[in-house]
Structure 1
Amino acid sequence: MKSNLILSIVFLCFTTLNLAAENRVASDTTYIFLKEYGLQRTKDKNCIKYINKALDDDLLKDNAPKVLVFRPGVYHFYPDDAKTKVYYESNTTDVNPKVCAFLFENVHNLTIDGRGSTLIFHEQMQPFTFDNCSNIVLKNLSIDWQNPLIAQGEVLKVTDLYIDLAIDFRETPYRIEDGRLWFDVNRSKKNIWRSTMEFDRKGRYIVPQTGDKGCLGDHWQEYEAVTTMPGIVRLNNHFTRQPKERNFLVLRHAERAHSGIFINESKNVKVQNINLYHATGLGILAQFSEDLTFDAYRAVPNPGKNRYFGGGDDGIQVSNCKGQINIQNCEFAGLMDDPVNVHGTSVQIQQIVSPTQLKCHFMHHQSVGMTWGHKGDKISFIENERMNSLGKGEVLEFKAIDNENFMLTLAAPVPKELQVGDALENLTWSPDLTVRNNHFGNCRARGLLVSTPGKVLIENNVFESSGSAILISGDANGWFESGAVNDVLIQNNTFSELCNTSPYQFCEAIISIYPIIPKLDDSTPAFHRNIRIINNEFHPFDFPVLFARSVDGLAFEGNTLSRSFNFEPYHQRLYTFSFEYCKNIKLGGNQLSEDLLGKNILLKQTPGNELQLDQPEISDVVNY
């Protein structure tokens, strides 16, 4: 009996210690409930003031783990009283200051849990900004706009003289002035209709062979708009290309001024289970940040509103980042640009001030003002015409002159061959990339753009992109998006018949490897290296499956190619495989359907002995 009493006491003490330990662990995390700041039962009122109260609370500045918790609901946010800050955002128009609804600066160890809430924004705004933050999780919420800054119209009637469109005036207020169609943006601003995409009503994909050539043909801007009845706009014009009745036209008018989620100079950020139904620019933009994960992020049309346009221009743009970038279990559809774009930024040398000092210039107007270099960064000197590296250097100091120009001081003299007009690439800010288990639905332009020298793995994805499914480019002459690849594995993906259904820039095949090299000849070094395309499934309706330029080490093996008959061939490239200025090519062990178009290879300035061919079905190899 006595022993039982002792055992009971010991058990009670042990249990008490365990509970105390659990409480200590739980108390290490602070829960911050937004309802305590007034964020509840707000209906359609502006919630900014409640958010500002929470963001200004000292609890957020504590480095201890914390969770910012929404009460499930629908919340509205307007620009009035929102925080503003000047940001120069990559691939975004320089409209400053940015209007930031949730502005997190120097915040660490924070989880933001929406608990299924829907955040509705109004006018030009940036929903989430993470600036100099670390260990951040944003999860479990949806982002949308009450009045999106993009419109759509159902095609009611098409004749040789006019097109009738039904536009929801409540969702996208519009007006007609002097025969032009304008869309109201806010109380004092309006935007003119600037471009159009046509989406198939049933399949919800961009109508084949339209793309950037325009679904309304040449001189479509010569229309005269009139209202025939409320919500019905008649466009009087002899359109040289006519859309199909009952299809939807997506009408673009807004400036790309804000991102949906902006991650700047931050580390270890995770975006999880987020629906982005609209953004007034890029969906997610990460720049000069490290170790990022995007899991179950969906940049798609809002299914409850019958929209055909999705969440922003690019779904995810990763610009000048480093560490490991993971994109997994995500979905993209209806975007007005590429679902995923991972790249660096090349800058041009304007003046060699001294052997260790360079004056440099941001060449693209949507990539200005960034802190391009940091002390200790490793850079590469790129010869402009042949795009080959002249050597490497190290940054001692970066000093901005203005938004477009900066001075760079280096640890050692630049190569003697370096000239004004050549370019610089920042090698330090070049990430490894894993893209796995994603659905690249039909969007304007390409599916996945990759320009990074880090290790790249692309596997188990489904591609239905309107242009090339995968584009590997890199240049210092046009877009100035840098990054020659050195290690790319593309395996176990499905490339549907929707891939490359419309012409866009650089879309020479379903997979297009197309660096911009002005002076490309036999003496030009290969730009890209070590690309393996293995065990994938292709369903081409047209000729081109793989186009590669200036690659040393390219394998296309173990893939299955089955022809689709759902669309008419249109592409000017009449070869299944095209290799230009390439070396060390392996092509074999692939299963080709008997009716596959082409079954041929073009070798342009690529010697026959550089091709190791083990594909009996292919006997047509053209050299020139």
Structure 2
Amino acid sequence: MNELSERIQSVQDGECVVLEKNRIYTVAPEDSFHVSGLFFSNTAKKEENPNGERFCAIYLEDKQDVTIDGNGATVMLHGVMTPFVFKNCKNITLKNLSIDHVRPTMSEYTVIESEPVQATLIIRAEFLYRVENNTLFWHSEPSVSGEPYWEIPYKGPGVLSNAFDPETGILSYMVRGEGDERGGFPDIAEIEELAKGLLCVKLRDRKREIKVGTVVQTRDIRRFQTGGAIDKCKQVTLENLRVYSMNGFGILGQNSRDLTYRNLNLTPKEGRTIVSDADFFHFSGCSGTVNVLDCRAMGAHDDIINIHGTHLRVIEVNRSKNTVLLRYCHNESWGFEPYEAGDEIEFVSGNTLLPFGSATVLAVEKQNDTDFCVAVSQLPEREFPENAVAENVTRTASLNVIGNTFERIPSRAILCTTRKDVVIQNNTFRCMGAPVICVADDANFWFESGRSGTIWFENNTVEDCGAVEIPLGCDVIRYEPVVLDEQSTQAVHEKIIIRNNTFINHLADRYTINLNYVKCAEISGNTSNVPLHIKKQTGVKLV
């Protein structure tokens, strides 16, 4: 085992571990913690990681009152790894540490010349590649076996590419070519290697010309590992971390209580344009208070923050035993326990997203990786509607997002579905491709729950956001619960206060606040250099 992991393995409760100042700790999958049975929300499908395997530089389980002080050190990861995992821990602090990969799993290249049927690409030396039969393959550094840890083609069924425009600062989805499953670089017919890291490529599609200066970011869509994970923990603090790259996913907080992320810097290393393959901060089934304070995050392929619970579909109801059979229905969430005795759950119509009953969990029996038989204190007297689901109300958190700077993603800044209070204050949002705030709730697709309470959005600066969605109306704030019943008009969400914010848009002639299935919105004291349109569903009260 490597020296860092060996030191962490010996940690005792109450200990403060101080790493060697400014040292670079190199960690590989072969000499790190290899842990199975770690099933994480919104990550790998069952066929991709059936045993929930994680290769970790830092792993703590059943520990309390532990501080790991990096003291300016760097954890340099080989291959595909999760830098840290905390499981069943209490009062843990990780601080003053940098995290990077020897070879990031996101590959980047810049278009320096472009014509309708030809382009010239320049590739930095750290992004290892090979060319075979006029196909560009990206690969990692060699493992101990001499073979690379991973390799992917420049495009294909499991490969996705986005495009960053340094001129505008916008990171956007690439066009999906004919026959492509996902957006990506145009089909290459022929490759000439002019020099190492300099390729002239001939394109099959005359209509697909790529803008000169575009940086193409290419990755494997599979979420084998994460940028870190906190599972079934209480009182965890991440502080003064410098994260340069993440594999598969960002930092996941799952079924944990009271998490604080303070002064984290997740921005690209010089010469790179991207950090995370997906979200930066993901919170699933968390409770207590989640704090994201004074952080900077730039360059990801999905949301900055996503906080939600999980709707499990009601499969069977046994009234004689007061039990329900509940199922995870999205293929990226499975294996982890959704409830424990004493949790309060709410039964919800999958078509209207409105509750029709509640109960206390008495016992949970796992049937398999997706199905759980749950005994409850009582069942609703009414019949269960079509597509009924259940949400764990106990595992919902309040959220404070204060004093941060968030930049350059193609999607939403904050995807927020939690019924507890949400405070979003004194932040800067720049070049978000989609709305700064999206309040969803869904019981049929992603199954991310649930209804929201009151959101305070105050004293923030929003600049050039919603750019990817300009043709759709450039929403800057959007309520969009997935209500399938077209006859349903009752509000799902409670209230938002939008006050004393500065909106700036150089890319479009308007911003839109889009309000659907929310009871009330208070909007006052905001300034904008473009018209700020309010689009609302009938019945939404404006104050």
Shift of 1:181: 2.5
Structure 2 equivalent of residue 416 of structure 1: 382
Structure 2 equivalent of residue 122 of structure 1: 78
Give the Cα separation in 1 of the matches to 2:90 and 2:153.
Answer: 40
TM-score by length of 2: 0.90
* Distance of aligned partners of 1:223 and 1:494 in 2 relative to their CA distance in 1, 3 Å threshold: same
Structure 2 equivalent of residue 49 of structure 1: 2
Structure 2 equivalent of residue 99 of structure 1: 55
Structure 2 equivalent of residue 480 of structure 1: 447
Structure 1 equivalent of residue 256 of structure 2: 289
Task: Give the SS at the match of 1:115.
Answer: strand
Equivalent of residue 230 in structure 2, options 259, 263, 268 = 263
* Distance of aligned partners of 1:506 and 1:256 in 2 relative to their CA distance in 1, 3 Å threshold: farther
Paired positions, count: 517
For 2:151, give the aligned amino acid: K
* Distance of aligned partners of 1:261 and 1:420 in 2 relative to their CA distance in 1, 3 Å threshold: same
Task: Using the TM superposition, name which of 507-516 and 282-291 deviates more.
Answer: 507-516
* Distance of aligned partners of 1:375 and 1:507 in 2 relative to their CA distance in 1, 3 Å threshold: farther
Task: Give the SS at the match of 2:211.
Answer: coil
Which one scores higher on RCO, CA 8 angstroms, separation ≥ 6? 2
Post-superposition Cα deviations, 1:317-371, rounded to whole Å, max 9, x if no partner, equal: 0111000111110111111111111111111111223451111111111111111
Give the Cα separation in 1 of the matches to 2:190 and 2:33.
Answer: 39
Post-superposition Cα deviations, 1:282-327, rounded to whole Å, max 9, x if no partner, equal: 2210000000100011221113xx1011244211001110001111
Shift of 1:581: 3.9
Equivalent of residue 440 in structure 1, options 406, 423, 443 = 406
Structure 1 equivalent of residue 329 of structure 2: 363
Task: Using the TM superposition, name which of 234-243 and 285-294 deviates more.
Answer: 234-243
Equivalent of residue 388 in structure 1, options 354, 371, 375 = 354
Give the Cα separation in 2 of the matches to 1:479 and 1:504.
Answer: 24
| Runs of 4+, deviation exceeding 4 Å | 215-221, 504-508
Shift of 1:520: 3.4
Shift of 1:111: 1.0
Conservation of the 8 A alpha-carbon contact between 2:401 and 2:424:
yes
Structure 2 equivalent of residue 177 of structure 1: 132
Give the Cα separation in 1 of the matches to 2:478 and 2:401.
Answer: 17
Structure 1 equivalent of residue 204 of structure 2: 237
* Distance of aligned partners of 1:215 and 1:165 in 2 relative to their CA distance in 1, 3 Å threshold: farther
Structure 1 equivalent of residue 40 of structure 2: 89
Equivalent of residue 67 in structure 1, options 8, 13, 17 = 17
Task: Give the SS at the match of 1:385.
Answer: coil
Q: Does 1:459 align with 2:459?
A: no
Q: Does 1:319 align with 2:284?
A: yes
* Distance of aligned partners of 1:349 and 1:507 in 2 relative to their CA distance in 1, 3 Å threshold: farther
Shift of 1:470: 1.1
Task: Using the TM superposition, name which of 140-149 and 241-250 deviates more.
Answer: 241-250
For 2:442, give the aligned amino acid: D
Larger Rg: 1
Q: Which has the higher helix share?
A: 1
Question: Which structure 2 residues correspond to residues 492-531 of structure 1 after superposition, within 5 A?
Answer: 492-496=459-463, 498-503=464-469, 509-521=475-487, 523-531=488-496
Conservation of the 8 A alpha-carbon contact between 1:506 and 1:512:
no
* Distance of aligned partners of 1:463 and 1:354 in 2 relative to their CA distance in 1, 3 Å threshold: same
* Distance of aligned partners of 1:507 and 1:108 in 2 relative to their CA distance in 1, 3 Å threshold: farther
Structure 1 equivalent of residue 536 of structure 2: 579
Give the Cα separation in 1 of the matches to 2:179 and 2:206.
Answer: 8
Conservation of the 8 A alpha-carbon contact between 1:469 and 1:499:
yes
Task: Using the TM superposition, name which of 179-188 and 249-258 deviates more.
Answer: 179-188
Can you give the 5+ residue segments of structure 2 that lack an aligned partner in the other structure? Answer: none
Structure 2 equivalent of residue 491 of structure 1: 458
Give the Cα separation in 2 of the matches to 1:384 and 1:240.
Answer: 43
For 1:109, give the aligned amino acid: D
Equivalent of residue 407 in structure 1, options 363, 369, 373 = 373
Conservation of the 8 A alpha-carbon contact between 2:110 and 2:214:
yes
Task: Give the SS at the match of 2:4.
Answer: helix
Shift of 1:204: 4.0
* Distance of aligned partners of 1:483 and 1:504 in 2 relative to their CA distance in 1, 3 Å threshold: farther
Task: Give the SS at the match of 2:2.
Answer: helix
Equivalent of residue 155 in structure 1, options 107, 111, 115 = 111
For 1:177, give the aligned amino acid: E
Give the Cα separation in 2 of the matches to 1:242 and 1:457.
Answer: 43
Conservation of the 8 A alpha-carbon contact between 1:217 and 1:239:
no
* Distance of aligned partners of 1:301 and 1:505 in 2 relative to their CA distance in 1, 3 Å threshold: farther
Structure 2 equivalent of residue 191 of structure 1: 152
Shift of 1:505: 12
Structure 2 equivalent of residue 533 of structure 1: 498
Conservation of the 8 A alpha-carbon contact between 1:433 and 1:454:
yes
* Distance of aligned partners of 1:216 and 1:166 in 2 relative to their CA distance in 1, 3 Å threshold: farther
Task: Give the SS at the match of 1:502.
Answer: helix
Give the Cα separation in 1 of the matches to 2:292 and 2:162.
Answer: 27
Conservation of the 8 A alpha-carbon contact between 1:440 and 1:463:
yes
Equivalent of residue 336 in structure 1, options 298, 301, 316 = 301
Give the Cα separation in 2 of the matches to 1:559 and 1:153.
Answer: 40
Structure 1 equivalent of residue 364 of structure 2: 398
For 1:429, give the aligned amino acid: R
Q: Which has the higher strand share?
A: 2
Conservation of the 8 A alpha-carbon contact between 1:352 and 1:420:
no
Shift of 1:202: 4.5
Task: Give the SS at the match of 2:475.
Answer: coil
Shift of 1:562: 1.1
Structure 1 equivalent of residue 90 of structure 2: 134
Structure 2 equivalent of residue 36 of structure 1: none
Structure 2 equivalent of residue 374 of structure 1: 340
For 2:323, give the aligned amino acid: Q
Q: Does 1:553 align with 2:520?
A: yes
RMSD: 2.2
Task: Give the SS at the match of 1:228.
Answer: strand
* Distance of aligned partners of 1:374 and 1:144 in 2 relative to their CA distance in 1, 3 Å threshold: same
Structure 2 equivalent of residue 110 of structure 1: 66
Equivalent of residue 393 in structure 2, options 410, 413, 427 = 427
Post-superposition Cα deviations, 1:194-247, rounded to whole Å, max 9, x if no partner, equal: 2222212355432xxxx3353879865533351332222315222534322123
